[in-house]
Structure 1
């Protein structure tokens, strides 16, 4: 088991929480000038770098530990999108949200002893975890190079590189890919996707009776014309 240095973990936690807070603020605030965006990002990172309990990261770490590398990667990509003037995307893509939600459910059930599969402890494996991370890094790098699902693949690549090179955030592969906030975001995204699907089906069902008379009239016209 190869754990990261405690000082490195603390530095990562402060910086990562600063990026998370900055990404959230720039997502909900109105569009701002590049200088204002840079000021917000710098202020958030500086605020979380304050010593001890003066830092918001101190209290966030008590409740949520460290952000996963994947959440940090998503926040970096979100900040990049805001810098380029692109609108915020508040929900994950449906396929990604379903995957994160399912993996998180199995992992948390295993952690609480409901399934007792030992998956979390497998994330500390000195052989399997690094090999899996390296294989994932190669796959995500190829996706980024090809331009497929660029933001998600780039976030995944950041996560596995943080784990592979620095063993962050905790030395466990699962902690690099999942955390309670990220899992909650995926569950919310799945719920939003389900509500959108239900709304689309209702609109189709409401439109069907309105289209039926028009279809009957068109068929009658065709019949009369044929006769």
Structure 2
């Protein structure tokens, strides 16, 4: 049994995780601990994002007791808004507190792009434009060529919680770019686990979404590779590059 631990902000799209667990197979367990950051990380000046490390360190104890093999901070904007160095410090603190391998959704995106052997990506973000640009800057700092950034203009996580397949497909169409080899949809508050095949069919290329990438990153930390076609291209091919 491989136990994957996740620290998830709030409750927006936390039901993606039991859905993904069902698709991964019976020998993988997904454990979720909810973190209250006391604010919305969809803001450049969000105080909660900068104060996340202490809250994460406190929350990780429950995952340790549950026997998790790895832990991932399941928030994209809760890490990249601090820049690459700040996000790295956050993960380092988390690993020290957890006593196990640790990462975050932001780094999961970077590692997933490398795993698929890609360089050029488009970003479709359910964030304000300034926050979306910070995500692109984070990716570029790790050598990912971001050819376009599209912002839906939504100001808070609460605005996208109710999005279904129609809204996601519209975001994908609006965000795709002909030079991009893949489309990245950050934001663990988006319900995407049930819609990845439809998204990839719509634009004809891999689509990496936050909750999908978060679980994949935990599997990577636990040295597991799982074939799960319903979770998209990231889960249906042999890795080209060891991240």
Q: TM-score, normalised by structure 2?
A: 0.27
**More contact order relative to length (CA 8 Å, sep ≥ 6):** 1
Q: TM-score, normalised by structure 1?
A: 0.28
The structure carrying a bigger helix percent of its residues is 1
